[in-house]
Structure 1
Amino acid sequence: MPRPGYSAISSFSRVRILHLLQESPQRTISDLCEITGLHPNTVREHVQRLIDGGYVVPEVEKRTTRGRPRVLYSAADGVQDWSPIAARKARDAAERGDLMRRVMPWTDDHALENDAVHQLDALVEDLGDAGFDPVVDQHQLTVDLSPCPHAGTESGNRSVLCAVHLNLMDGVLAQARGPLRVEGMAPSCNPHDCVVHLTR
């Protein structure tokens, strides 16, 4: 069974912070400290790891009055909040995918157009970095994540993890620029049988 990787989202505290930013963007470090109860230095470190991973984007507040502008943080969704780091990761994944398909042409089943295939390249790499072992069906537009490496997580935290991962997957697809988006999880989804449906 794959183990969660040491990635930007390998810590539940970071997952929780990312969940807060996905639900309500443009939060400050103080906002996040107040909600999580974590020390400001800890929150700053977590947020920086999320920025470095391409999952969060900072923006300096535009002030019309005197005073030092605040830094506002939002989850990178590839639409309103765009991360240059995530965009670079998507480009690099597409290049590696193209190289693999040239070297091993039998891996390309020609089910999708290039921009959609490149989206899947980015998605597979991102999920792999997070400890998943995704199996993509280009014809059915599904991503099988079974078994989830986070299956042992407390059931109370599992809904947050699932929501964050679905939003991250959708953000990766959006950053990679193509027709595919996340539609949702299969109705029977559980930690040991997890299938995500994509849509055009």
Structure 2
Amino acid sequence: MSSSAVAYGPISSYSRVRILHLVQTRAERTISELCEATGLHANTIREHLQRLIEGGYVIQTTEHRTTRGRPRTLYSAATGMPDASSAVARDKVAEAARRGDMMRRLLAEPDSQLGREATYQLDALVEHLEESGFEPVVDETTMTVELSPCPHAASAPQHRPTLCQVHLGLMQGVLTQAGGPLAADCVLAAQRPAECTVQLRLTA
């Protein structure tokens, strides 16, 4: 993929990136909080949130009130944990595993050397990355995922730290949702904007 390629998926718009960053850094955000933090109109926030919910990256809950008044809708990042799991994300993981099994049977390929659970985690991770405009190359020996050239290389330099942080959080959520020994540890420092490598690790 060339550096001029269009990035799709949850981080295709920087406004959506900002919203994701806010719900990743603190759960149970309200529409008014997101409007105040981003300067975006409430209807625009709702549109972005709907896309993120449909993609399995954000979950919504209803506020539990102990006083009178209409409960607010709260928005949090879908982290894959039991209390922050998305039905859409669960379906994506199951479908990625099904397609992965089919391809391995057709190509007579073995599971990951890291085990069956890690195989399904990598299935889900690769599909998520491809949906987001990347062409991931997984190296199980170095436990890295090569994402170069990054489709966000042309983004404003001041936006890149947030982009990297948000996408790392999405990768962590996908791996947690899939369940297994792998976690996304960090985005490795790069010499050039088009370079992007994510370090994986084995959890205890």
TM tier relative to shorter chain: over 0.9
Task: Judge conservation of contact 1:55–1:83 (CA < 8 Å) in 2.
Answer: yes
Q: How far did 1:140 drift? A: 2.0
Q: How far did 1:109 drift? A: 6.1
- The aligned amino acid for 2:177 is Q
* Structure 2 counterpart of 1:74: 76
User: 4+ residue runs of structure 1 moved beyond 6 angstroms?
Assistant: none
Distance between the aligned counterparts of 1:186 and 1:156, measured in 2?
17
1:92 aligns with 2:95: yes
Structure 1, unpaired ranges of 5+: none
Q: TM-score, normalised by structure 1?
A: 0.95
Distance between the aligned counterparts of 1:189 and 1:99, measured in 2?
38
* Structure 1 counterpart of 2:176: 174
Q: How far did 1:185 drift? A: 2.0
Distance between the aligned counterparts of 1:132 and 1:83, measured in 2?
23
Between 75-84 and 112-121, the greater mean CA deviation after superposition = 75-84
Could you give the per-residue CA deviations for residues 105-135 of structure 1, whole angstroms, max 9, x where no partner exists?
14x3641211101000000000000000000
Q: How far did 1:138 drift? A: 1.9
Could you give the per-residue CA deviations for residues 131-186 of structure 1, whole angstroms, max 9, x where no partner exists?
00000112221100011000000001011100001111111000111110011122
Q: How far did 1:21 drift? A: 0.6
Distance between the aligned counterparts of 1:21 and 1:85, measured in 2?
18
Task: Judge conservation of contact 1:132–1:145 (CA < 8 Å) in 2.
Answer: yes
Aligned length: 199
Q: TM-score, normalised by structure 2?
A: 0.93
The 3 A distance-change label for structure 1 pair 189 and 17 is: farther
Task: Judge conservation of contact 2:112–2:118 (CA < 8 Å) in 1.
Answer: no
The 3 A distance-change label for structure 1 pair 190 and 167 is: farther
Task: Judge conservation of contact 1:147–1:194 (CA < 8 Å) in 2.
Answer: yes
Distance between the aligned counterparts of 1:25 and 1:63, measured in 2?
17
Aligned residues: CA RMSD: 1.4
Structure 2, unpaired ranges of 5+: none
Could you give the per-residue CA deviations for residues 20-68 of structure 1, whole angstroms, max 9, x where no partner exists?
1111111001110111111111100000100000000001011111111
